[in-house]
Chains A and B, each alone.
Chain A
Amino acid sequence: MSTSIDLLQGTLDVLILQTLSLEPMHGWGVAQRIQQVSKDALQIGQGSLYPALYRLEYKGWIKAEWGNSENNRRAKFYRLTAAGRRQLESELETWDRLSTAIGLVLGRTVEASR
Chain B
Amino acid sequence: MIRELLTRIRFLMFRKKRSEFDDELRFHLERSIAVKVAAGLPAGEARRQAMIEFGGVQAAREECERQRPGWWLGTVAQDIRYAVRGILAHRWFSAAIMATLALGIGLNTMVFTLVNAVLYKPVSVPGGDRLVCIGNRLLSRDDSNVPLSYPDFHDYRAQTASFESFEAIDDGGGILSESGNPPHRYHVARATAGLFAMVHTKALLGRAFLPADDHAGAEPALVLSYNVWQERYAGLSSVIGRSVRVNGKAATIIGVMPKDFRFPSGVDLWMPLIPTPDLAKRDNRQLRGYAILKPGITLHQANAELGGIAGRLARQFPDDKDLGVSVLTFQQRFNGGNIRIVFLMMLAAVGFVLLIACADVANMTLSRALSRQREMSIRTALGATRGRLIRQLLIESTMLSTGGGVLGMGLAEAGIHWFDLSTQTIRPSWIEFTMDFTVFGYFAALCIVSGLLFGIAPALRSSKPDLAGVLKEGAHSVGRRRGGWLSAGLVVFQFALTLVLLSGAGLFVRALLNSLSINPFVPTTQLTMASLQLPDSRYKDSDARQRFYDQLLPRLRELPGVAHAAITSDGPGLGANRHQIELEHAPIANPAQRPGIAYVVQSPGYLEAIHLPLLEGRDFNDIDGTARHEAAIVTRDAAMRLWPGQNPMGKRFRLYDDKNKASDWITVVGISADLMQEIQENNPRPLLFVPYRQEGSDNMAVVVESTADPLQAMRTTVQSLDPELPLNDPSRMKDALERQTWFLRVFGRIFLGFALIAMLMASVGIYAVIAHATNSRTQEIGVRLALGATMRNVLLLVMKRGLWQIGAGLMLGLGAALPFTHLMASLPFGMARSDASIFLIVALGLASVGLFACWLPARRAAGLDPAKAIRYE
Contacts and interface: CB of A to CB of B under 8 A. Distances in A.
Interface residues of B, number: 28
Most B CB within 10 A of own CB, among A45, A69, A73, A75: A75
Contact of A46 (B27, B28, B30): B28
Interface string B6-27: 1110010000000011011101
A76 B68 CA distance: 18
Given A27-B24, A28-B28, A28-B32, A51 B69 contact: no
A34 to B, nearest CB: 14
A74 to B, nearest CB: 7
Contacts of A55: 67
A59 B69 CA distance: 9
A58 B60 contact: no
A6 to B, nearest CB: 15
Lowest 10 A-B CB distances belong to which pairs?
A: A47-B55, A60-B7, A51-B63, A55-B67, A54-B67, A60-B4, A28-B31, A54-B64, A47-B60, A46-B54
Interface string B63-83: 110111100000000000000
Contacts of A73: 27, 30
B23 A76 contact: yes
Contact of B60 (A26, A50, A76): A50
13 contacts: A46-B55, A48-B63, A50-B21, A50-B24, A50-B25, A50-B63, A50-B64, A51-B67, A54-B67, A58-B7, A58-B8, A59-B4, A60-B7
B30 A47 contact: no
A47 B63 contact: yes
Given A76-B23, A83-B3, A83-B4, A47 B32 contact: no
Nearest to A53: B64
Contacts of B236: none
Interface residues of A, number: 20
Contacts of A54: 64, 67-68
Contacts of A69: 27
Contacts of B69: 58
Interface string A52-75: 001100111000000001000111
Contacts of A46: 28, 53-55, 60
Interface string B39-75: 0000000000000011110011001101111000000
Contacts of B4: 59-60, 83
A60 B27 contact: no
| Residue from the set B27, B55, B68 with the largest chain A CB neighbour count within 10 Å | B27
Nearest to B68: A58
Classify the interface of chain A: helix, strand, loop or mixed.
helix
Contacts of A83: 3-4
Given A27-B24, A47-B63, A50-B24, 11 more contacts: A28-B28, A46-B55, A47-B59, A51-B64, A54-B68, A58-B7, A58-B8, A59-B4, A59-B7, A60-B7, A75-B24
A32 to B, nearest CB: 8
A111 B8 CA distance: 38
B66 A51 contact: yes
B839 to A, nearest CB: 64
B8 A28 contact: no
A108 B152 CA distance: 86
A38 B439 CA distance: 65
A52 to B, nearest CB: 8
A40 to B, nearest CB: 14
A26 B68 CA distance: 20
A26 B3 CA distance: 23
Nearest to B63: A51
Interface secondary structure of B, over-half rule: helix
Nearest to A87: B4
A28 B27 contact: yes
Interface of A: 26-28, 45-48, 50-51, 54-55, 58-60, 69, 73-76, 83
A60 B1 CA distance: 10
Contacts of B27: 26-28, 69, 73-76
A75 B20 CA distance: 10
A83 B11 CA distance: 17
A45 B56 CA distance: 11
A75 B32 CA distance: 14
Nearest to B1: A83
A83 B69 CA distance: 18
B66 A45 contact: no
A54 B8 CA distance: 12
A69 B23 CA distance: 13
B20 to A, nearest CB: 8
A50 B66 CA distance: 12
A64 to B, nearest CB: 9
A69 B59 CA distance: 26
Contacts of B28: 27-28, 46, 50
A51 B7 contact: no
B10 to A, nearest CB: 9
Nearest to B35: A32
Contact of A60 (B8, B24, B25, B64): B8
Contacts of A27: 24, 27-28
A54 B54 CA distance: 16
A55 B53 CA distance: 22
Contacts of A26: 24, 27
A27 B20 CA distance: 13
Contacts of B63: 47-48, 50-51
A47 B67 contact: no
Given A45-B55, A46-B53, A47-B59, A76 B8 contact: no
Contact of B24 (A47, A48, A58, A76): A76
Contacts of A50: 21, 24-25, 28, 60, 63-64
A79 to B, nearest CB: 14
A50 B25 CA distance: 9
A26 B23 CA distance: 12
Most chain A beta-carbon contacts within 10 A, residue among B21, B32, B63: B63
A29 B735 CA distance: 95
Contacts of B64: 50-51, 54
B59 to A, nearest CB: 7
A2 B27 CA distance: 27
Contacts of B8: 58-60
B23 A74 contact: yes
A83 B1 CA distance: 8
B26 to A, nearest CB: 9
Contacts of A51: 60, 63-64, 66-67
B57 to A, nearest CB: 8
Nearest to B30: A73
Contact of B11 (A28, A48, A58, A75): A58
A54 B20 CA distance: 11
Nearest to B32: A28
A75 to B, nearest CB: 5
A50 B63 CA distance: 9
Contacts of B6: 60
Nearest to A27: B28
A47 B54 CA distance: 6
A74 B20 CA distance: 11
Contacts of B55: 45-47
Contacts of A48: 60, 63
A48 B67 CA distance: 11
A56 to B, nearest CB: 9
Q: Which of A28, A51, A54, A59 has the most CB of B within 10 A?
A: A54
A28 B8 CA distance: 25
A58 B27 CA distance: 21
Contacts of A58: 7-8, 11, 67-69
